[in-house]
Amino acid sequence: MTRLMGIVNVTPDSFSDGGLFLDAEAAIAHGRELAAEGADLLDVGGESTRPGAAEVSAEEELERVGPVVEGLVGEGGTGVAVSIDTSKAAVAATALSAGATIVNDVTALRSDAELAAVCAEAGCEVVLMHMLGTPRTMQDDPRYEDVVDDVKAFLSDRVEAAVAAGIDENRVWVDPGIGFGKTAAHNLELLRRLGELRELGRPVVVGASRKSFLGKLTGRDVNERVGGTVAANTLALAAGADVLRVHDVAAARDAVLTAEVILGRRRWRTRSG
Ligand code: HH2
């Protein structure tokens, strides 16, 4: 069954909800709301990766995310697994000891040499995402031989590197990195051919929520892209995505439920009427 990863951004500058949940109490309340709406996982992030975003020190990132992870796990938490969206070993280590069970690294363990060891030691799940370049440079004329083949080869190499660093292969998830060093045409082709990534044999995560290619297609502002997001996610689900990373959990939950029933992957019962 496809799982929903609800996004909890504790940042002043995320592309769609920057500044909304910078205060820990507001972020925790938001995470609880996403869990109540049907999120299976909550992805807590303290550093924006939007093109050109400012870098954040480990101390600052920890100040942002530490109390939020603590508020969302364990007793008094939501009962939903928490993922830490970070590329920094120090941030991951603190979040894991507070009770997070997944590390989501948009750099696929390439930016902090210590992070793989932290994940191996903790025995956590690890999301490895494809990105061409860095958030500062990634949208400067990205080019591929064949975007799906290139992303797939990259992810295959990164899975190998993770395993070589002691991470259990069964705990590795892969993500094509929609919007990370890709034109709108690249994103659309990755979504159209998403099924090819299943050949890697690992769960596939897709993060299309509210991203700018949807704005280019529909002409909609960032907070009005729920229809485009639902379409992208529904097709990703049909192609075999295992985890959908979303801002709008309630809409995504209804879409996933309906799509899975139509595809015969889920039994259904009437909820009302
Ligand atoms: N996208 C964003 C951040 N983290 N992680 C994975 N695995 N896949 C993604 O597609 C992905 C991600 C960007 O979205 P958001 O968190 O809303 O924005 P920002 O990076 O500006 O905080």
Give the pLDDT of residue 83.
98
* Exposure b/e, 39-71, CB count within 10 A at least 16 = b: bbbbbbbbbbbbbebeebebeebbebbbbbbbb
State yes or no: pLDDT of 15 exceeds 90: no
In a domain, 267, yes or no: no
Q: How many domains does the chain have?
A: 1
CA atoms within 13 A on the CB side of 203: 16
User: Which residue has a Cα nearest atom 11 of ligand 1?
Assistant: 207
State yes or no: pLDDT of 206 exceeds 90: yes
Q: What is the mean pLDDT of residues 232-240?
A: 98
Give the pLDDT of residue 52.
78
Catalytic residue among 245, 253, 265, 271: 245
pTM over the 0.95 mark: yes
Other CB atoms within a 10 A radius of the CB of residue 136 amount to 12
CA of 267 to the centre of ligand 1 (A): 32
Residue ranges around ligand 1 (CB below 6 Å): 7, 9, 11, 14-16, 45, 48-50, 85, 104, 106, 127, 129, 175, 177-178, 205, 207, 245
CA of 166 to the centre of ligand 1 (A): 26
In a domain, 250, yes or no: yes
Q: What are phi and psi of 31, to 5 degrees?
A: -60, -40
In a domain, 270, yes or no: no
245 tagged catalytic: yes
The fraction of the chain above a pLDDT of 70, given in percent, is 100
Q: What mean pLDDT value characterizes the chain?
A: 95
Sheet holding 172-175, edge to edge: 172-175, 125-129, 102-105, 81-85, 41-45, 3-9, 243-246, 205-206
Using pLDDT thresholds of 50, 70 and 90, give the confidence band for residue 271: confident
* pLDDT per residue as tens digits for the range 38-94: 999 999 999 999 887 888 999 999 999 999 999 999 777 788 999 999 999 999 999
Give the residue carrying structure tokens 């998830």: 173
Q: What is the mean pLDDT of residues 133-162?
A: 93
Give the pLDDT of residue 273.
58
In a domain, 269, yes or no: no
> H or E segment at 216?
helix 212-218
Question: Are the C-beta atoms of 68 and 24 separated by less than 8 Å?
Answer: yes
The fraction of the chain above a pLDDT of 90, given in percent, is 85
182 tagged catalytic: no
Domain coverage including residue 96: 3-262
The DSSP annotation for 103-162 comes to EEETTTT-S-TTHHHHHHHHT-EEEEE--SS-TTTTTSS---SSHHHHHHHHHHHHHHHH
CA of 167 to the centre of ligand 1 (A): 23
CATH of the domain at 249: 3.20.20.20
Q: Which residues pair with 245 in a beta bridge?
A: 5
Give the pLDDT of residue 51.
83
Residue to mutate (ligand 1; options 83, 85, 244; most atoms within 8 A of CB): 85
CA of 39 to the centre of ligand 1 (A): 16
Give the residue carrying structure tokens 């990105």: 131
Catalytic residue among 64, 211, 225, 253: 211
251/247 Cα distance (integer angstroms): 9
In a domain, 134, yes or no: yes
